[in-house]
A and B are shown apart, each in its own frame.
Chain A
Amino acid sequence: MLRLARKLLQIASKSLNRLFSRCWLVPSHVSDDERIVRVIYSPYHLDKKKKRLTHYAYDPTPRTDDVSVMRLDHMGARLCKRKALSFENAGKKEYRGFAVLRVRTVRTSAMDVIDSRRHYCGHADIKFLIEELRTREPGEPLSAEVGKRFRDLKDSLLEASNYLPDSQPRASRWRGPKLEPPSGM
């Protein structure tokens, strides 16, 4: 019963968000069961063969420990794709698909996911919870040991990700397989 109510709420919040950009029904707490997606752009999020994600796909915004993601269950694949395409920069940064993660998996790897709707409704951030990421100087690396910890966390995000390339990136709708995290997660 609870699961059904939650599902109905998600459908309603998704519709309000997609049709009217309204965030009324989107809970500010990101639940463990939610799916989140990271938009993948070429060339820098993918390896040389453009097939596999690299850890740079989870580089945070400078002077923060935040990695931008979308709350798939409250936006829907179509709105996620619309947003992803709106951030494209032709020839320099091309939309390629989504990496899908389960919030629970992120949290069990000593990170957190928080809602950040100030950007837009459905936006969230993965938090690395590393203070040095917020305080380091622009153009400088982290200290070696913190850098290794940071790298290990990014590797755990890669393991928890299901990268789904978009076979029709120019289409307005997502036409690929269902956006799900790796099986068992």
Chain B
Amino acid sequence: MIPSLSITPVFDTAATGTSIVEIVAQDSSRYGFFRVPPRAITAQPATAQQTIEEFSKLEKNWDGYGALPVTAESRLFAQGFLAVAPTVMLSPEISPTSNGTIGLEWQSREGEAYLEIGRTRYSGHIQPRNGTTIYIEGQSARLGQEEIAVITQLLYAASGAEAFTNSIQITEPTI
């Protein structure tokens, strides 16, 4: 069954100063539908993990413009994140950034997503083809299923991809 997608409304994260994912994580009981059931990890292309592993070889100034080496923490968090991602998300463009973080990018007919994973924090955005930009950020150690669910639903739901959730309904919390 193709999951439905309903986001109503995307609230102003700038006003609350907290990302959607963080708000969901902070009060997960209100967003129980957002939780992702544990599932077996499907065959994962070794290339994504290997690509990230290769970044350990990058020395200072690897880009010729003073780039920093990719931190071990960023590599571990990125590998951990991809280890639990569904098949459809397993082939992002993976690149080191000059500030020592790792950038992951996905593109689909529905839009694009960018996630940058750092030593202690991650941040990024999802740009649906038709719709407002959704910003995501938080602690790298907590990066995981919620972010996967949001990206999967927004970029791959229409393709009938293996999605984890039936719907994402995000409403502005009453404070």
Contacts and interface: CB of A to CB of B under 8 A. Distances in A.
Interface of A: 39, 41, 44-45, 47-48, 54, 56, 59-62, 67-68, 87-89, 92-93, 136-145, 147-148, 151
A139 B99 contact: yes
A143 B137 contact: yes
Given A87-B64, A92-B62, A144-B137, A139 B101 contact: yes
Contacts of B135: 144-145, 148
B172 interface: no
Contacts of A39: 64
B149 interface: no
15 contacts: A41-B64, A48-B93, A56-B95, A56-B97, A61-B66, A87-B64, A88-B64, A89-B62, A93-B62, A141-B116, A143-B123, A147-B123, A147-B124, A148-B133, A148-B135
Interface in B73-119: 73-74, 93, 95-101, 103, 114, 116-119
Interface in B114-163: 114, 116-125, 133, 135-137
Contacts of B95: 44, 54, 56
Given A44-B95, A148-B133, A139 B64 contact: no
B125 A141 contact: no
B68 interface: yes
Given A56-B95, A140-B120, A148 B67 contact: no
Contacts of B53: none
A93 B99 contact: no
Contacts of B97: 56, 59, 141
Contacts of A68: 65
B63 A145 contact: no
A15 to B, nearest CB: 27
B113 to A, nearest CB: 11
The size bracket of the interface on B is 35 or more
Contacts of B43: none
Contacts of B44: none
Given A60-B65, A140-B119, A141-B124, 17 more contacts: A41-B64, A44-B96, A56-B98, A59-B65, A59-B99, A61-B65, A62-B66, A62-B68, A62-B98, A93-B62, A138-B100, A139-B68, A141-B97, A143-B123, A144-B137, A147-B123, A147-B125
Contact of B118 (A45, A89, A140): A140
A70 B93 CA distance: 29
B64 A140 contact: no
Contacts of A144: 13, 19, 123-125, 135-137
Contacts of B64: 39, 41, 87-89, 93
B14 interface: yes
A45 B65 CA distance: 12
Contact of B63 (A48, A59, A142, A151): A59
A139 B118 contact: yes
Contacts of B133: 148
Contacts of A151: 114, 125
